[in-house]
Structure 1
Amino acid sequence: MTNEQQPHSNSGEHEASHERINVDTPRIYVASLSDYNNGRLYGVWLDADREPEDVHADIRAMLAASPEQDAEEFAIHDFGGFGEARIYEYDSIELVTRIARGITEHGLAFAAWASAQEGNEAALDQFDDAYLGHYESMEAYAEQLIDDLGYQRLLDESVPESLRPYARIDTEALARDMHLEGDLHFIPADDGGVWLFDGRI
């Protein structure tokens, strides 16, 4: 199945919505490693959907107020509001804030995209080009694609009325093959649907 054989449609925006989904503000808990290594839990929760320099400033202030002298190192010990995206202990603040700002702007679809990129910060900028929308299922996208391209109408016009109940396009197999061959990426959403991304990007 080549890309030319399976064109992707961006019509039907009522189903493939790019609207922002209300989510909790992405936050991280940043801890002082000097305190942690000496048996003390000391850190601060910070809103992560800001510019990295602002988060770094808050981290420096937290370290400066540490009971430990010369506290300089930190690690991310917890996080929330990042959806499917995983945040690791020593991820850069630049990466974390980039993901957080994307979630605030685009909703949890961006979190799913970030999860699929596995820390590749440069690929995060391709979200707008790759994201094709949210659908109830893989099959729902295939059904809309067939309808948008006019294939269902052609089938109805070509098949005698008495045989139409038996003539159908296997949308389940179509969606599965597009996914397996890399044309599309379907990522499960928390509501039971799927986020859809162009696998060629």
Structure 2
Amino acid sequence: MNTPCVYVACLASYNNGILHGSWIDCANDPEDIETDIQKMLKASPIEMAEEWQIHDFEYFCGFDPSGYPPEKLSQFALFIEEHDILGAELLDIHGDIDKAKEVLEDNYLGCYESLSDYAEELTSGCYDIPRCLEYYIDYDSMAQDMELNGEFYSIQTEHDEHHLFIN
């Protein structure tokens, strides 16, 4: 996976019709990100430039890091590097790094090829299903009802990767 990064632009330059900025690797310490931002501002064609803004980003897997300070950018990037698309989706759903980490640690049920696989595993783990009844159980409908009833929610990261979480 590629490293999450942002394009930070100098607002003084931008407001004067000049495009000046740099790509910054966010999977670093917040101090390193801040240092890179200050270097970019110092190199600005507009004297005493102070303000910056994120104008673009890459490899955040759909999560928009715009408007966040270096400390949060670092946390988001490291979380996404560790958990890939699943991490980005959790950040997008919960909007908070601490909540995303908590949900991943406390509410994660696992990864399944389909939602019906989870329903089947849950059912067979709780009950001894007689062999003569096995083919009458509709695990697809059971899983759909469980999700609609709010018993869990899922994040699909690949065609056959459904990550399930307790609601």
3-state SS, counterpart of residue 57 of structure 1: helix
| Secondary structure of the corresponding residue to residue 109 of structure 2 | strand
Q: Contact conserved, 2:61 with 2:84, CA < 8 A, in 1?
A: no
Partner SS, residue 54 of structure 1: helix
* Amino acid of the structure 1 residue aligned with 2:129: L
Instruction: Tell me, yes or no, if the aligned pair for 2:24 and 2:33 is still in contact at 8 Å.
Output: yes
The CA distance in 2 between the partners of 1:80 and 1:132, in whole Å, is: 29
Q: Distance in 1 between matches of 2:105 and 2:55?
A: 30
Structure showing greater relative contact order (alpha-carbon pairs closer than 8 Å, 6 or more residues apart): 1
The residue that corresponds to 2:72 in the other structure is 95
**Amino acid corresponding to residue 136 of structure 2 in structure 1:** A
Q: For 1:45-91, what per-residue CA distance to the aligned partner results, in whole angstroms no more than 9, with x for missing partners?
A: 11111221211111011111111111111111111111132222x22
Structure with the larger strand share: 2
DSSP 3-state at the match of 1:125: helix
**Residues 49, 28 of structure 1: CA spacing in aligned structure 2 closer, same or farther, 3 A cutoff?**
same
TM-score (norm 1): 0.73
Structure 2 counterparts to residues 1-201 of structure 1, below 5 A: 23-88=1-66, 90-117=67-94, 119-126=95-102, 127-147=104-124, 149-151=125-127, 154-156=128-130, 161=132, 164=133, 166-168=135-137, 170-191=138-159, 193-199=161-167
**Matches of 1:80 and 1:191, distance apart in 2:** 23
Amino acid in structure 2 at the alignment position of 1:125: K
CA distance change for structure 1 residues 110 and 38 in 2, over 3 Å: closer, same or farther?
A: same
- 1:166: Cα distance to partner? 4.7
Cα 1:77–1:123 change in 2 (3 A) is same
Distance 1:100 1:74, change over 3 A: same
Secondary structure of the equivalent of 2:110?
A: strand
More helix by share: 2
Paired residue total: 166
> Structure 2 length normalisation: TM-score?
0.87
Matched residues in 2 for 1:87 and 1:191: separation?
A: 26
Determine what percentage of the aligned residue pairs are the same residue.
37
Structure 2 runs not aligned, ≥5 long: none
CA distance 1:41–1:133, change in 2 (3 Å): farther
Query: AA paired with 1:167?
Result: Y
Give RMSD over aligned pairs. 2.0
Structure 1 gaps of 5+ residues are 1-22
TM-aligned CA distance change 1:139 to 1:80, over 3 Å: same
CA–CA distance in structure 1, aligned partners of residues 32 and 76 of structure 2: 15
